[in-house]
Amino acid sequence: MTRQNSTAELDKAAHLHPYTNARKLEAVGPRVMAEGDGIFVRDEQGNEYIEGLAGLWSVAVGFNQKRLVDAAAEQMAKLPYYHVFAQKTHGPAARLADKLVELTPEHLTKVFFTNSGSEANDTVIKLIWFLNNALGRPEKKKFIARTGGYHGITVASGSLTGLPWNHASFDLPAIPVRHVTTPHAYFFAEEGESEEAFAQRLADEIEATILEEGPETVAAFIGEPLIGAGGVLVPPAGYWQKVQAVCHKYDVLLIADEVITGFGRTGKMFASDTFGITPDIMVLSKQITSSYQPLAAIMMTDAIYQAIADHSERLGTLGHGFTGTGHPVATAVGLENIAIIEEQDLVGNAAAMGKVLQSELARFADHPLVGEIRGVGLIAAVQLVADKSSRTRFDPEGKVGAFFFERAHDHGLIIRNIKDAIAFCPPLIITEEQVCEMVARFGKTLEDTLAFAEAEGLVAR
């Protein structure tokens, strides 16, 4: 058999893709991306797109940042790989650990590196189980997460995730976890319920869940400061303060999953600062290297570290880690990436450009398809609905959003549809002119989408 040489044909023949309808890929083939520069990427045919989702919520400093390329090449030439097992280390891992302790809230004093956010949250589960065994609390192993939350895709972290398509036919959840109500007032607040009352109801639900399970069995509550992959859902005012109070009352650890929000996305270095969260554990990834290299970090308090360290001495080791944990090239790139974020004040730019983004999107508030415009800093979403007055979702849900996603390419824009929410998360280097152009392309796509929805009979008349 003669093998096809094009990238698309080779890919169709040999590659099973994540988050993809495999039969659709076989039928229409992949879109082959070839290069990127700044906020733009280009496909194999030379078509240029604004990357409105920064890849997968992650390329803070833009595509083709030479300083990161040089940092990787320099480290590759010096020490391309070494591990951090058995009391070994190397300069980039040690320096990045020190930098992360400096940057994060001062009560977070130790770092454990992994290769991805999924691995990090999987590791968090294991470390908490290890911790509670060390403390003589073998029953304190259950987790509370939120419906709509995303915490990874491994067996354990995928169990924490509260999205149905990540559980269907995978036999998840596979660990003891309870999922509570999504903190999104637009769809889940009761009629006439204030934000404060909605937040209190959700905190009461968490407390009731802890009491139902037994406080002696509930180990931790995990949440994204704002839910990302579940739709860019901003929590109601006061939510995190109420949740923290419940967690402290019952000795339940609070885990802030900042895989998407860390390193400036919400206009502050960490979204925990934005929302007033004081986590026991913070999980970081994506923008830590702008995803030029796979890397994640788990930040923990000294109290957690000390208990784990004592138990590792009793057992003779901490029996967990990955071949690539603290990889020298990844950590070298992470250090340079953070340096760029600081030197160019990309956190400040995210705050300023976030205001521009919200202002530009607000022009579509009266559009017949637009139900809600939401976001903080340089992460936002526009909720498309069938009926604005009743906040009625489309039926079938996701069909309109899928059309929007595909048609946006024709206008030189890459976004992500989360069912019928259109998500924005551009690189932190974006300028005001580029924000306006991105939203203009969104507007053109929105008009095409309205025509499609009307033709399909999907909108209220």
Whether residue 280 sits in one domain with residue 415: no
At 281 the pLDDT is 99
Q: pTM to 2 decimals?
A: 0.97
CA dist 459 and 461 (Å) reads 6
Tokens 């509670």 found at: 132
Q: Give the 3-state secondary structure of residue 223.
A: strand
Whether residue 306 sits in one domain with residue 436: no
- 343 contacts 350 by C-beta, under 8 angstroms: no
Query: Looking at 281, 311, 343, which one is the last position of a domain?
Result: 343
At 2 the pLDDT is 46
Q: What is the CATH number of the domain that holds 196?
A: 3.40.640.10
β 416-418/421-424 pair status: antiparallel
Q: What is the pLDDT of residues 79-116, one digit of tens each?
A: 999 999 999 999 999 999 999 999 999 999 999 999 99
- 419 contacts 382 by C-beta, under 8 angstroms: no
Please tell me the chain's helix, strand, coil percentages from 3-state DSSP, rounded to the nearest 5. Answer: 45, 15, 40
Q: Is residue 361 part of a domain?
A: yes
Q: Is residue 383 part of a domain?
A: yes
Whether residue 412 sits in one domain with residue 325: no
Whether residue 387 sits in one domain with residue 318: no
Per-residue pLDDT of the chain (461 residues; tens, 9 = 90+): 445 589 999 999 999 999 999 999 999 999 999 999 999 999 999 999 999 999 999 999 999 999 999 999 999 999 999 999 999 999 999 999 999 999 999 999 999 999 999 999 999 999 999 999 999 999 999 999 999 999 999 999 999 999 999 999 999 999 999 999 999 999 999 999 999 999 999 999 999 999 999 999 999 999 999 999 999 999 999 999 999 999 999 999 999 999 999 999 999 999 999 999 999 999 999 999 999 999 999 999 999 999 999 999 999 999 999 999 999 999 999 999 999 999 999 999 999 999 999 999 999 999 999 999 999 999 999 999 999 999 999 999 999 999 999 999 999 999 999 999 999 999 999 999 999 999 999 999 999 999 999 999 999 76
CA dist 268 and 260 (Å) reads 13
Domain limits at 430? 31-61+345-455
- 232 contacts 184 by C-beta, under 8 angstroms: no
Whether residue 327 sits in one domain with residue 401: no
CA dist 109 and 102 (Å) reads 9
Ranges assigned E (strand) in 169-291:
177-180, 218-223, 253-258, 281-284
Give the total number of structural domains in the chain.
Answer: 2
- Residue 178: phi and psi, rounded to 5, are -115, 135
At position 95, the amino acid (one-letter code) is R
β 296-301/108-114 pair status: antiparallel
- DSSP-assigned letter for residue 369: T
Q: Residue 413's CB: how many other CB atoms inside 10 A?
A: 24
Q: What is the pLDDT of residues 151-160, one digit of tens each?
A: 999 999 999 9
Query: Looking at 299, 327, 343, which one is the last position of a domain?
Result: 343
Q: Is residue 12 part of a domain?
A: no
Whether residue 290 sits in one domain with residue 147: yes
Q: Is residue 9 part of a domain?
A: no
Q: Is residue 376 part of a domain?
A: yes
Whether residue 158 sits in one domain with residue 119: yes
At 342 the pLDDT is 98
Query: Looking at 343, 363, 383, which one is the last position of a domain?
Result: 343
Whether residue 188 sits in one domain with residue 201: yes
Whether residue 354 sits in one domain with residue 267: no
Whether residue 207 sits in one domain with residue 75: yes
Q: Is residue 269 part of a domain?
A: yes
Whether residue 375 sits in one domain with residue 328: no
How many CA atoms are closer than 13 Å to the CA of 384, on its beta-carbon side? 31
Whether residue 163 sits in one domain with residue 84: yes
At 1 the pLDDT is 43
